Amino acid sequence: MIYAAPSTLFEATVQGAGTGLVGTMGVRIKAVPSGTTVLARTTAGITEVNPGIYTKQLTAPATLGDYLVIWDDGTNYASEELKISYTLPDVSPSGGALLSLAEYQAATGNTDNPTAQQIALEDASAACLTYTDRDFVSTPVTETRDFTYRGNGFLEIDDATAVHSVSSDFPITSWFANSDGPAGFGVLSWLELPKYDSRALTSIGAMGFTSNLDVILARSGWTPRWTVSVNADWGIAPLPRDVRRGLIIQAQAYENASVDETSGPLTSETVAETSRSYAVFTQPQPVQEEDAGIEPAAQALWWPYKRHTL
């Protein structure tokens, strides 16, 4: 479900569609339950941010109430609920979970066993953090953290939303913070720094002999390394909408498994929050051995946010 205030911009996304459908893929908004068209079907401004994943910025209806964002490629359809309200739901997580129990229960429509649901949420959160290797948190923190730099021009750092300063015993004349992830994610995960120049360790003696100190040191087992101190706003908050959907899917799989060991894949009728992920748009997703135990639909939603090592 998408939550938005009246007349504000929000981002609508559909995933699992075919590729190369820009210009064909369309989106519209209809009121619920009347079915009145609030936004006529449009193909303008839709971009394919990843293969089979399309997104568009839309303006929320001015009237409070419930709506559907409907995607189609001319043949197949997918929808997502849109709630227009001045008050957003409480999404404060607890007990190590990235998602609140209240939001999970609202999405699944099930409040029968809150203890099992909380455990499932915590397990799903751990699976998400392991799979994505991201620093999703409830509250970001601003502080200085130290990292080891080897002089290759790139330095991986923890996920940050803003980098304020960079200092080191290595001569840093300039630095640039870079991001990875889907469009609009805006999370900084590595720095571009000056490279270590081994020629500075080469000297010429009085008789013209060249002394390649970098070679000598390398042969002795020495490798360049410096401590780089980075002051930044660390952590990713709020939780991206697709990551939240994946958590709901994965948590319900864990919850179902605790009751029925033969529970199978989820369907859109079971989880209202994730209805668009199970529409007629289907596309096989590669499953890596290390992804075992993660629901394919959750994996598809989390994959764009997966951290990639330099």
Mean pLDDT, each 10-residue run in order, the chain (310 residues): 80 87 95 94 90 88 92 93 69 72 84 91 93 86 92 92 91 89 84 77 50 52 80 88 91 84 43 39 46 85 86
| pLDDT value of residue 224 | 73
Residue 57 · residue 2 · CB < 8 Å: no
| pLDDT value of residue 184 | 74
CA 112 to chain centre: 30
Full set of structural domains in the chain with CATH: 2-84 (2.60.40.10), 101-134+241-305 (no CATH), 141-234 (no CATH)
| pLDDT value of residue 212 | 56
Q: What percent of the chain has pLDDT over 90?
A: 42
Q: What is the pTM of this model?
A: 0.59
| pLDDT value of residue 260 | 56
Q: Reduced to 3 states, what is the DSSP secondary structure of residue 130?
A: helix
Q: What is the 3-state secondary structure (H, E, C) of 171-239?
A: CCCCCEEEECCCCCCCCEEEEECCCCCHHHHEEECCCCCEEEHHHHHHHCCCCCCEEEEEEEEECECCC
| pLDDT value of residue 287 | 45
Which structure tokens are listed for 107? 């999405």
Using one digit for the tens of pLDDT, what is the confidence trace for 256-305?
Answer: 887 654 444 444 434 444 433 333 344 444 445 456 689 999 999 999 99
Contacts 24+ apart (CB under 8 A), 283-289: 283/16, 283/17, 283/18, 283/52
